[in-house]
Structure 1
């Protein structure tokens, strides 16, 4: 049977203490729900079923719990096996972690009052059960709603799939969701394009969304090449993983890239000017942003990089001999605060073969772990990558350092100073998800 606790003191036996010394028994609450519900584990074993589910079927919960869904339904007098649509929806819910709706399905069941068998139509909603910060689906709650046969069958007594889908609004819901997803993907893809070619540098980018369905969020990257040959690299993070966060991100990225193209601005000035412009345009929202300006090559082939941080994480440098170091100077104020304080800048010369990584916090943040520890693990991961190609380094960093896939957005910009830049060499970029 289902058991649960709350942040209040656990009183044992599935009960939780509440103020005043009373207890809440979650089995009683589950049974008191008017809507029929059944709980399945990832192997489709029945974990529990409430009274609203079992009473219309004429079977006790104990006859269902511990059985597979197909075996449990077989215990129902006259009950058919689960229909493929229902099983497919539950499977998608387990795989994607997103709710699934199934149009009304006919079951010919005996009426407990009259004993006569007749058609009944049930619409199913499969809801995933996860834990905060962990997208793994640990169980599925199947909510059952009975639909009036007259709505489904119509005056002619025929229940066509089109009529069932229309009356349950499933078709419209699916069409709306598909249209929203297509629009969101188009928006994100237009904003997060591959980086431009930068002579003498290899530049690579990665983006991994937290939202696995719409694939949009508030993280972004950008690479701008000035007329002087200087390159400006930006990574930023607006709070949120939805279309609203993506819209704010789009506005902020546009403002930052407009300012960054001006050749006279260092990274701190780029952030300050963009912040003032965003406020004047009434673009609301705070963001953690890193901006870095990479100078043209010195006679020895090295590149000077200057960066400023607006509440963001420190860059990471990997030298040609594979040593990795976090550049942990003090960050400036969060983008959007508009405080009258200077943003500090830091400078480093990158020798040929050296790589630099700028990233958002989704790459390293772990629930219950100190950020300093997570950053150190990232540094060690980078140091241990044997393959010297920047593309492989970016792949390894994303694969090994992302703590929980889907827990947060990740944006990454990586550059490497070429020892002997080849004319026409192309930068590469990947959106992962």
Structure 2
């Protein structure tokens, strides 16, 4: 509760230093706001309401806090309020993380100045509250503004200029949001393209955004096929879940794939050369990146894979016997730090039917859980998938993130060494419980 025992916005005591050495009390600030405001948690329980809001309803804040919004408003003198439209807007804001505007709605509350009850109209603005670096909506602030009844109702059934202005404002805000989403989706679609066909390998990719409205973020995947037949796999993660993060990601992906196509470069060299090129081009972004180079097949059909990590998570391999192993080597420095220390490389040989997974941290990170434990849970989950098809493995692995969808982006590249011709029979199994 803002100004109470537990600040809804995690302000650390609800006080902050201001010029002159004084401290700003957020309870005083919240109450000083002239426009009525109420704060709700994701379960629509009232966390706080400012003085303007409590005076509007004629109820003390203690009668609101701790109750659901529907329960609290049902206790307001003057009959039940028109909740459904507001509830729908709040639910959308919680689901999408986008502000919502509710057009003027009638609720005939008593006028605090005269005590008389007449036609009164209210416009609501619902704003999400999110912690930096976290796309999950932690709370919503509902701003309530009264609109003059004459402006809403008009005369002789005709809309007044003020009424048309309100409708125009709402329509414009919605159109702007739609245009931003369309531009973001176009950007993401142009960058995250399907992998190329590589003879003897099956490839699959997945991308799941944290921001479900713009569907963009800082994670990416890439597969580059060299003239020599070597394939270069990349997954990366630039901090952020917005269009700025997607733009930085697009720049870095372009630099990395330009370097990766050079046949003499191993994974560590690719990272080093791309890091220097990004600095020269003034691409100011830090990223966690994994680069893996897959050699052409040996006579027995196996493939040697060499990889290097820049602050990213270790690859995971599922062997032909369906056992899974995390290739837990040294991660190397974060991409963008430009440190002189050499990046380590590791290599393993994948026999036919073995699969390799490269992924970003959104797949495994869990709040309150050690990263090592999360990675071990992923390894065990992979072992439970006994369907040999790579597509099925990728689907099952990505399904792990469903309970925390919306907290971080996920990018995944999966590779499997072929055992039978592409037009041969598929090996089909099941997924254990």
- Smaller-chain TM-score range? 0.7 to 0.9
Cα distance between partner residues in 1 of 2:65 and 2:313: 49
8 Å CA contact retained: 2:290, 2:358: yes
Shift of 1:346: 1.6
Cα distance between partner residues in 2 of 1:64 and 1:219: 42
Match of 1:204 in 2: 204
8 Å CA contact retained: 2:122, 2:144: yes
Alignment of 1:74-113 (within 5 A): 75-78=75-78, 81-82=81-82, 84-113=84-113
Match of 1:51 in 2: 51
Cα distance between partner residues in 2 of 1:16 and 1:275: 42
8 Å CA contact retained: 2:16, 2:25: no
Match of 1:377 in 2: 377
Change (3 A) 1:334 1:184: same
Which 10-residue stretch deviates more, 388-397 or 247-256?
388-397
Q: Under a length normalisation based on structure 2, what TM-score does the superposition of the two structures give?
A: 0.83
8 Å CA contact retained: 1:326, 1:379: yes
Change (3 A) 1:342 1:403: farther
Which 10-residue stretch deviates more, 349-358 or 366-375?
366-375
Shift of 1:423: 5.9
- Relative to total residues, which structure has the larger strand share, 1 or 2? 1
Change (3 A) 1:32 1:168: farther
Cα distance between partner residues in 1 of 2:66 and 2:12: 29
Shift of 1:400: 2.1
Match of 1:319 in 2: 319
Match of 1:429 in 2: none
Alignment of 1:239-318 (within 5 A): 239-318=239-318
What is the aligned residue count?
Answer: 419
Match of 1:121 in 2: 121
Residue segments in structure 1 that go unaligned for 5+ positions in a row? 426-433
Change (3 A) 1:387 1:128: same
Q: Does residue 214 in structure 1 map to residue 214 in structure 2? A: yes
Residue segments in structure 2 that go unaligned for 5+ positions in a row? 18-22, 426-433
Cα distance between partner residues in 2 of 1:113 and 1:312: 62
Match of 1:430 in 2: none
Which 10-residue stretch deviates more, 386-395 or 367-376?
367-376
Cα distance between partner residues in 2 of 1:161 and 1:82: 25
Change (3 A) 1:90 1:111: same
Match of 1:5 in 2: 6
SS at match of 2:120: strand
1:331-384 Cα shifts (integer Å, max 9, x gaps): 332222223332222221110010111111222223343322222222222222
Q: Under a length normalisation based on structure 1, what TM-score does the superposition of the two structures give?
A: 0.83
Change (3 A) 1:24 1:169: same
8 Å CA contact retained: 2:318, 2:356: yes
1:183-237 Cα shifts (integer Å, max 9, x gaps): 0011111111111111111111111111121111111000111122111111111
SS at match of 2:332: coil
1:236-268 Cα shifts (integer Å, max 9, x gaps): 111111111100110111111122122222222
Q: Does residue 339 in structure 1 map to residue 334 in structure 2? A: no
Change (3 A) 1:236 1:140: closer
Shift of 1:61: 5.0
SS at match of 1:234: strand
Change (3 A) 1:161 1:183: farther
Cα distance between partner residues in 1 of 2:358 and 2:123: 48
Cα distance between partner residues in 2 of 1:342 and 1:401: 34
SS at match of 1:169: helix
8 Å CA contact retained: 2:82, 2:106: no
8 Å CA contact retained: 2:354, 2:417: yes
Change (3 A) 1:213 1:119: same
Change (3 A) 1:209 1:105: same
Change (3 A) 1:239 1:94: closer
8 Å CA contact retained: 1:64, 1:75: no
